[in-house]
């Protein structure tokens, strides 16, 4: 489990860095000369979507390369690429240049699903849920630390410096990966591993219920990313809310903490309870809680409900990846998780765009839609995945 602990540290350092700048992209767009609120919203949505869209398209390719040449190499590729590209984002002089940098970042992305794949092969089979849960917890907990620290840097030193701090933290994560992580079953120096079986999309159905897991990951990521965008809008719409930014940040941080608790709890429960049953229960509880946020009339009620949603759905991605690890043999897991990355990145890329549309039509209705998405995932597990049950 030494590799899992090392990977948890690496993911935490990197994702705290990512959180330094990502919440402040709209402010950076304004600083780069875009003043019209509509144009700021459009550019912000495009910037948020382009990186995961490119990453998702390339995820299967990099997953196969990882199975052949080593997962550590692919993780190092991502982190080193992030170091230089994110540093360059702090130097751009136009929003078009920032978009180009975000596009390039997508060419080096796919870090999260690769980390999950590595965690799944770095622990004994009975401890795979715990390993995935640890890595997922590190990612979730970064959401309670990074935005606050990034906000301090951006407020006192400027938004550009937040990008520079992120670049330094990616470099630090690269150093930790190089020193602390030992490749599992690495190829002989200077040579590739034996080529794994090709996992083309048309062939992936040979793993029973793999497409179900792909859809579940897509739905879980879609809901998680969408709620992060909806909370500040909902807080701003509530009457008499003081310090809207601070209140929104507090709600998001509390949700990150409860989601971290959830990810660890379900990882432990998955040793004795079927992960599919846990996931179905989580979705059945989380769906109505999401919809209930449409009915709140004050920020304390919103805080409580968002915390409960974090407890219910915070472990959903951990459980979905655990199901994927159960389905796919270890020698092809990085390639398979590359396809799972496609679902994650589709959820990541589509959520900001659709959330904006939903919120424009009806902000309370957007929460109801996300509740329906969660319940649809539970129905898929209940009626469309007999083997997983």
Nearest residue to 274 (alpha-carbon basis) of 323, 233, 315, 311: 323
What residue ranges define each of the domains in the chain, with the CATH number in brackets? 2-180+205-384 (1.20.1250.20)
> Which pair of structure tokens corresponds to residue 169?
């933290």
**Is pLDDT at 98 greater than 50 in this prediction?**
yes
Residue among 184, 214, 177 nearest 124 (CA): 184
- Condensed to tens digits (0 to 9), the pLDDT of residues 200-235 reads 556 665 677 878 888 888 888 888 888 877 887 788
The runs of H, that is alpha helices, within the chain are 2-21, 25-31, 37-69, 71-89, 95-108, 111-121, 128-157, 159-180, 210-237, 244-269, 275-292, 299-313, 316-327, 333-361, 363-384
Coil/strand/helix, residue 139? helix
Torsion of CA 76, 63, 136, 224, to 10 degrees: 120
Burial class from Cβ neighbours inside 10 Å (0-12, 13-18, 19+) for residue 257 reads: middle
Angle between helices 128-157 and 244-269 (to 10 degrees): 170
For residue 189, give the DSSP letter. Answer: T
Q: What is the pLDDT, as a whole number, of residue 388?
A: 62
Closest CA to 88 of 68, 108, 111, 62: 108
- Please give the pLDDT value at position 150: 77
Lowest mean pLDDT among 124-133, 304-313, 332-341, 380-389: 332-341
From the number of C-beta atoms within 10 Å of its C-beta (0-12, 13-18, 19+), residue 189 rates as exposed
φ/ψ of residue 189, rounded to 5: -55, 130
| 376 three-state secondary structure | helix
Please indicate whether residue 303 or residue 252 has the higher confidence score (pLDDT): 303
- This prediction has a pTM of 0.71
């Amino acid at each position: 489990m030494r590799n899992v602990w090392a990977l948890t540290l690496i993911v935490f350092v990197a994702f705290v860095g990512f959180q330094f700048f990502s919440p402040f992209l709209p402010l950076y767009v304004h600083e780069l000369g875009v003043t019209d609120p509509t144009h700021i919203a459009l550019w912000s949505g495009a910037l948020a979507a382009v990186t995961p869209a490119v990453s998702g398209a390339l995820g299967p390719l990099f997953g196969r390369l990882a199975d052949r040449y080593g997962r550590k190499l692919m993780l190092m590729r991502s982190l080193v690429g992030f170091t230089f590209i994110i540093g360059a984002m702090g130097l751009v002089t136009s929003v078009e240049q920032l978009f180009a940098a975000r596009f390039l970042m997508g060419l080096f992305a796919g870090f999260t699903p690769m980390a999950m794949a590595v965690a799944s092969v770095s622990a004994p089979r009975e401890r795979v849920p715990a390993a995935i849960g640890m890595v997922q917890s590190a990612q979730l907990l970064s959401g309670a630390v990074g935005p606050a620290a990034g906000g301090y840097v951006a407020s006192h030193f400027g938004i550009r410096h937040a990008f520079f701090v992120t670049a330094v933290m990616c470099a630090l994560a690269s150093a930790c990966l190089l020193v602390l992580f030992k490749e599992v079953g690495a190829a002989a120096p200077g040579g590739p591993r034996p080529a794994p079986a090709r996992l083309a999309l048309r062939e992936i159905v040979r793993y029973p219920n793999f497409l179900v897991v792909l859809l579940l990951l897509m739905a879980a990521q879609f809901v998680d990313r969408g709620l992060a965008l909806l909370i500040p809008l909902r807080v701003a719409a509530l009457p008499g809310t003081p310090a809207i930014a601070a209140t929104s940040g507090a709600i998001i941080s509390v949700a990150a903490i409860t989601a971290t608790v959830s990810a660890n709890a379900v990882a432990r429960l998955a040793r004795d309870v079927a992960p599919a049953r846990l996931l179905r229960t989580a979705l059945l509880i989380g769906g109505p809680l999401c919809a209930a946020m449409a009915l709140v009339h004050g920020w304390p009620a919103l805080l409580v409900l968002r915390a409960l949603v974090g407890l219910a759905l915070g472990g959903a991605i951990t459980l979905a990846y655990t199901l994927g690890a159960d389905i796919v043999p270890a020698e092809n897991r990085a390639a398979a998780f590359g396809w799972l990355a496609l679902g994650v990145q589709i959820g990541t890329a589509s959520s900001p765009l659709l959330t904006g549309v939903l919120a424009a039509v009806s902000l309370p209705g957007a929460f109801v839609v996300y509740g329906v998405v969660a319940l649809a995932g539970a129905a898929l597990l209940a009626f469309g995945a007999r083997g997983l049950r």
